[in-house]
Amino acid sequence: MNIVIIGAGYVGLVTGVCFAELGHRVVCVDRDEDKIGLLSAGRPTIYEPGLEEHMIRLMSEERLSFSASVVDTALADVVVVAVGTPQRMDGASDLTDLESAVRSFARFLREDAIVMIKSTVPVGTNERVREWIKEETGRNADTVSVPEFMREGSALQDSFHPDRIVIGSDSEQAAARAADLHAPLTSNILHTDLRTAEMIKYASNAFLATKISFINEMANLCDKVGADVQVVAAGMGMDPRIGNAFLKAGIGYGGSCFPKDTHALLQIAGHVDYDFKLLKAVIEVNQTQRKRVLVALGEQLGALEGLTIAVWGASFKPGTDDVRSAPSLDIVPELVSSGAAVRMCDPAAELGFRRAYEHPQVTWHKEPLSAAEGAHAVCLLTEWPVFTEVDLTLLRSVMAAPVLIDGRNAYQGEAVKEAGLYYTAVGRPV
């Protein structure tokens, strides 16, 4: 099939590569001409393992190309919409880009083409997309809701081996076309109506966020009663009804999805006067959990004025350069306000972090040990291997005071103590 993808951001680009690998001819369209220039030169605009190799080969085989013009929509059997739906100030999803994208390609849409919405959108949006197309063209188009479940850092793997493909539609023909598009990845297809498909996406992310906030609350309680949350999580996870994934305690979730989608789901509930108490608590627990690093620093060092604190990790998780809603963006400004000099290191996210936050008290260093030089404490915020595999004795030798605050439970307490460091983790006796 001929596929046009509208929006060459994270989801659009990875989806484009995946569909091209499945044998379709794909054009990724984005209004950002600079981005299209880079992509057309074979340079990915996001950091995702393996993406560049796939892109370059698919482009040379003429199965994947990039364009800044929505006129290309005229080629498409399926138009996939993957534009961003960022969070508005009130927490709801901002559909401005989605609406303008749909209205701009509508008149080029072939009569037999279907429109597949991959962007994460509030319940009812697929129906609005149909209305926008009708307003622009006077025609009824078929829309299909196919939410995306890929994770940053393993997006290609997730796309080639999805655990499920949800296809929401009220047209059998359109649903069948959407299923064909995914062949041969068709083992776990769930067909639903449009609104249910939209809801599955929010429910999935909200549930995963709930697991994280739950285990973080358990960790806080473990600290107080002297239990070990990692073993508690392992014991819980042995029950297949609970499962062992997403029970890693730490300083909470970040990224472009969980924070945004949990807030958007609260808004969706609010619009129908439903008080989603559990979700409110999940969000609040996550926000408080980030402060643990600051509380631990206060306990170990007292006032931070005039001290030097090394921060290891700026991205919201390892394997990505993404700093959106990352704990680092809450923690570092607080360290600065308390008068500390901050020495930072991250293998991929320096540029992204500096675009969001710069301060004369914050310096950047290429190596973990150079960031730790002269520091009174090292705070691990993101568990990149370059940090977790560091030689702890060497680390101790370059620091001014021996404090290691581990926000991700990434070290063995015994090894840290043997190296002569004072160690604080999350929910583990040390």
- Site residues, ligand UGA (CB under 6 A): 148-152, 205, 208, 212, 246-248, 250, 252-255, 257-258, 316-317
What type of residue sits at position 108?
Answer: F
Asked if 18 is an active-site residue, the reply is no
The answer to the question of whether 120 is labelled as a binding residue is yes
Full DSSP string of 258-326: HHHHHHHHHHHHHHTT---HHHHHHHHHHHHHHTHHHHHHHHHHS--TT-EEEEE--SSSTT----TT-
**Least distance to ligand UGA from the beta carbon of 345, Å?**
18
**Least distance to ligand UGA from the beta carbon of 261, Å?**
6
**Least distance to ligand UGA from the beta carbon of 152, Å?**
4
**Least distance to ligand UGA from the beta carbon of 112, Å?**
30
The answer to the question of whether 353 is labelled as a binding residue is no
CB nearer to ligand UGA: pick between 106 and 405: 405
For residue 42, CA distances in Å to 12, 36, 55, 57, 347 come to: 15, 10, 7, 9, 22
Return d(Cα 284, Cα 269) in angstroms, integer: 17
**Least distance to ligand UGA from the beta carbon of 255, Å?**
4
296 token code pair: 């631990």
252 token code pair: 């909470």
Strands (E) across 7-146 are located at 25-29, 64-67, 78-81, 114-117, 142-145
285 token code pair: 């627990």
The answer to the question of whether 246 is labelled as a binding residue is yes
For residue 96, CA distances in Å to 100, 255, 270, 300 come to: 6, 21, 20, 47
The answer to the question of whether 134 is labelled as a binding residue is no
The answer to the question of whether 55 is labelled as a binding residue is no
The answer to the question of whether 226 is labelled as a binding residue is no
**Structure letter (DSSP) for residue 88:** P
Mark the binding-site residues for NAD(+), compressed into ranges.
Answer: 30, 35, 85, 120, 152, 260, 324
Catalytic residues: 257
Binding residues for substrate: 149-152, 201, 246-250, 254, 317
